[in-house]
Structure 1
Amino acid sequence: MIVGVLRETAPRESRVALTPEGVRELSAVGLQVVVEEGAGHRAGFTDSAYRASGALVVGDRATVFERSGIVAWVKPPAFALETMPLRAGTMLVGFQDPHYRRDEIDRLRGRGVGSVAFDLVPRDDTTTEIDALSTMSRIAGAVGYAEGRHLLSARSRPVRALILGCGAAGLAAIAAARTFDDDKPTAVGNRLEQQTAALDAGAGRFVANQDDNAALLDLLATTPFDIIVCTAVHRGSRAPRLLEQGALDLLAPGTVIVDLVAKAGGNCVATVPDTTVTLPSGVIVTHRSNYPTSRPRTASRAYSAATAAMILRIANGRN
């Protein structure tokens, strides 16, 4: 079986789906790897490093598709997949943006081309396999908090943060707040059993919020927050709308909202994907789709480990 690795074409994307270490792992079990020229350059991995790891480096993406039974990427390509020599039986592995690309994924399936969406792969705490979405979410939570904090105006007191969601990204955002010596954040989750993880990550308080958002609205009405990081989403589902206009009306001018889940619909009604907007009230709402790309080498290594694990699972299933 041959595995192909593409050079990323999504805007501002600097990660790579498989590092030279990942190539060596796959080569050790007899899999061949074809890498598009320059695939790892932006993450600090040279073509010569891929060749030394056992990969064949080729000059164009069409050759990757032509030779490979599995093609790995980080984000869906910016080019039309229909222009590539896709064969029935090919498997496309990576984030797939299924909320926005469902029709394309269905068309490919109709041609016998499968898609493994890291966006939808269930988290399994009973195995040692690395979960791409969780690892990227942890990086996004930390980077998102830091970038949101930089948007704040000067504060004469420690920053007060509110973290919506207590998954991997939310817990990472809580931990990031402590690195800035900010006040211990307030964490909001939808299950009481999340409280222990939130407090262990560094939260000073946990609030359980239900579907009516009454607890969150009471919190916003009584406590001033400088930064709100939105991370609440169930894997494979649309993000719950937690910050409607009524909630935004409770926020002071200059409050920064970082919505990490805009790709799933967003927690905030005012979120515009890949955009920073200032509302008439002075509240700032920001999102970008690739926070982990700010740490391309670290993120690529974590992503590569998840990619290699998934490819080995696919390969073992076919053998």
Structure 2
Amino acid sequence: MKLFVVKESRPGEKRVALTPASVAKAKALGYEVEVAAGAGAAAGFADSAYREAGATLVGSAAGSGTAAGSGSGAGAAAGSGAGAESSPAEVAGAIGKAQVVASVSPLEPSLASHLSPGSVTISFLQRERDAATIAAITQARANALSFDYLPRISRAQAADALTSQAIVSGYRVTLVAAGLLPKFFPLYMTAAGTIRPAKVLVLGAGVAGLQAMATSKKLGAVVSGYDVRAASPDEVKSVGARFVNIDLPPIDGAGGYARELGEERAKKQQELLAPVIAEQNIVITTAAVPGRPAPLLVTKQMLAGMAEGSVICDLAAESGGNVEGSVAGEVVNLSGVTLWGGKDVPSQMAPDASSLYSGNIVAMLGFITKDGALNLDKEDEVVRDSAVVLSQ
């Protein structure tokens, strides 16, 4: 069996699906590992490291890198980065010979069309957003497993890429916020006077939010958190933060996720959170609803109530934003408040993000491999739920 690791092509994506440290684990499952030349360069993993780990490189060691075309996926070869490069023909050929193709972003439709019947892609892949890629995979009579739909069960935890990447995002956004805030995080008591600790509020107590709370706490801030789910108070307290109690009943969605709020509930929540937000030095928003635009948590009017020099970091900016006025990938100033919109946040820590994602890939391979052969068991909950295309 062959496992092919694509070189990511979406602008801003620096991660790689498999690191050199995971090559041996994939080989132990029975896979010959092929890696597109330069696939790990943006994450700090040289081609030589893959060779030494036992992988075969596909493509020339010379070239100028790759860049995406009009799509948002992985594997398009033509252009802009630095380092090694595989030609489009070499990439297409490797995909056509592979039983499994691993990437972070979905394959470009033009590359997905080269998949062999019965082969499997493993990546992030959303049904509505990536319809063209899904159509190409279906036309090729291949299969697609997506980390976006992995069931939240204990036996699937090692393959949970949403969680692993959210940990990275929650940590990173806290450091960004600390860098933007013109004051200390911790309490300082000196002969010259006392500096009060920063106040940090995190909205959303999922994995990213809890990581942001824990990191803020370690940096010495006074941390509080809020989420609509019933389990949130205990989760917030577990990382040393204070839960913000407002006079609204909890709302839970499927699989432990939050669900979309109605308009009346959303407005009431904004009204109750406004005075809490006004007291903060930093607000970090991480709220997301699977398959839907991010909920609006902070309006411009609420933002204007914060002190000048305060910071808001919107980790959900790429999916519509939790904060009115946030722009993904940009820092803007509104009413004297610095507003940061997150974009490609895991890629800002590409080496560690890739290492975690690589572990998720290996775990997923374990669910579809038996006795050294590809085995897509439709009765397995992990395979069934994560399958976006199941042609076999």
Deviations 1:22-67 (A, max 9, x none): 2211211212211111222333333233223332111123343232
TM-score normalised according to structure 2 size: 0.72
Where does 1:49-198 land on structure 2 (aligned, <5 Å)? Answer: 49-59=49-59, 60=86, 61-76=91-106, 81-82=110-111, 85-96=114-125, 98=127, 100-154=129-183, 157-183=196-222, 185-198=223-236
- 5+ residue gaps, structure 1, are none
Is the Cα contact below 8 Å between 2:283 and 2:312 reproduced in 1?
Answer: yes
Partner of 2:75: none
2:27 is aligned with 1:27 = yes
Which moves more between the two structures, 38-47 or 171-180? 38-47
User: Structure 1 CA distance, aligned partners of 2:122 and 2:171?
Assistant: 25
Helix, strand or coil: the match of 1:162?
Answer: strand
User: Structure 2 CA distance, aligned partners of 1:82 and 1:195?
Assistant: 46
Partner of 1:292: 346
Alpha-carbon RMSD across the aligned residues, in angstroms, is 2.6
Identity, % of aligned positions: 31
1:6 to partner: Cα distance: 1.4
1:152 to partner: Cα distance: 2.0
- 5+ residue gaps, structure 2, are 60-85, 185-194, 250-260, 378-392
2:242 is aligned with 1:200 = no
User: Structure 2 CA distance, aligned partners of 1:19 and 1:53?
Assistant: 9
Which moves more between the two structures, 247-256 or 12-21? 247-256
Which moves more between the two structures, 146-155 or 97-106? 97-106
Specify which of 218, 223, 228 is matched with residue 272 of structure 2.
218
Is the Cα contact below 8 Å between 1:10 and 1:76 reproduced in 2?
Answer: no
TM-score normalised according to structure 1 size: 0.87
Helix, strand or coil: the match of 2:244?
Answer: strand
Distance change in 2, residues 1:136/1:255 (3 Å): same
Counterpart residue identity of residue 306, structure 1: N
Helix, strand or coil: the match of 1:295?
Answer: helix
Counterpart residue identity of residue 241, structure 1: L
1:70 to partner: Cα distance: 1.8
User: Structure 2 CA distance, aligned partners of 1:36 and 1:305?
Assistant: 19
Specify which of 227, 231, 241 is matched with residue 286 of structure 2.
231
Distance change in 2, residues 1:244/1:132 (3 Å): same
1:233 to partner: Cα distance: 1.6
Asked which structure has the greater CA Rg, the reply is: 2
Where does 1:238-253 land on structure 2 (aligned, <5 Å)? Answer: 238-253=293-308
User: Structure 1 CA distance, aligned partners of 2:227 and 2:148?
Assistant: 21
Deviations 1:234-274 (A, max 9, x none): 34443222223443343333332212123333222322222
Counterpart residue identity of residue 145, structure 2: V
Is the Cα contact below 8 Å between 1:5 and 1:64 reproduced in 2?
Answer: no
The number of residue pairs the alignment matches comes to 316
Counterpart residue identity of residue 104, structure 2: V
Partner of 1:260: 315
User: Structure 1 CA distance, aligned partners of 2:281 and 2:366?
Assistant: 45
User: Structure 1 CA distance, aligned partners of 2:141 and 2:327?
Assistant: 35
Distance change in 2, residues 1:83/1:16 (3 Å): closer
Helix, strand or coil: the match of 1:258?
Answer: strand
Distance change in 2, residues 1:178/1:25 (3 Å): same
